[in-house]
Amino acid sequence: TASLNATGAGTLAWYLSSIGGNPVNTGTSFNTPVLNTTTTYYVESQFPSPPQFNTPHTNAGGGTYYQNVTYRGQVFDVYAPCTLVSVLVYAQAAMTKTILLKNNGVTINSATVNIPNGSSRVTLNFPLPVGTSLELGTDDGVDLFRNNAGAVYPFTLGGLVSITDNTANASGYYYFFYDWEINLPGQTC
């Protein structure tokens, strides 16, 4: 075995090949498994990409606070693996809500969050799989703001995410979740 060390900025990732593949270790040091032949390891510095935000950024336009206990949300497509870090919501009162990420009607992630009165950013950190017709919604949107006019689909963040419709399939409506903060996996240099 060998004990290898490296220095650099960001997160250091160790690989068996110079291009592609999965890291065999992360960090400044790496203890190899038992080696029976000459083996070359590669290390790279990885830096997270800056977040990007998808429109609509605010709830501007016609709307009101939702008053039904009916599942509602947004339908969207994902073109590259990324993370939905957070969304902006507008609440008429302080509340606790469960936000659901669905793929083909099956919940693949959820977060129960406390939302204060007014506008606030809700942290989700949902990994988004590549796919079509995913949904971000809630079973209880009572007292969350939704637009009932003016939404013109799609809302697209170049090559990553496109919000294509709402779960009610109601023209001009946009439900609850604004200014989606999207992060890509780490960039390397």
Residue 177 is encoded by which pair of tokens? 């979740």
- Res. 121: pLDDT tops 80: yes
Percent of the chain with pLDDT over 90: 70
Residue pLDDT, tens place only, 18-41? 887 788 999 999 999 999 999 999
Q: State residue 53's pLDDT score.
A: 76
Residue pLDDT, tens place only, 99-108? 999 999 999 9
Mean pLDDT of 145-168: 92
Which has the higher per-residue pLDDT, 65 or 18?
Answer: 65
Q: State residue 48's pLDDT score.
A: 67
Q: State residue 60's pLDDT score.
A: 85
Q: Provide the CB-side half-sphere exposure for 100 (13 A, CA).
A: 18
Please indicate, yes or no, whether the overall pTM of this predicted structure exceeds 0.75: no
Residue pLDDT, tens place only, 108-119? 999 999 999 999
Distance (Å, whole) CA 145 – CA 124: 18
Q: Omega of the bond prior to 56 within 30 degrees of 0, cis?
A: yes
Query: Cα separations (Å) of 140 from 69, 86, 113, 150, 174?
Result: 5, 19, 12, 23, 15
Rg (CA), the chain: 21
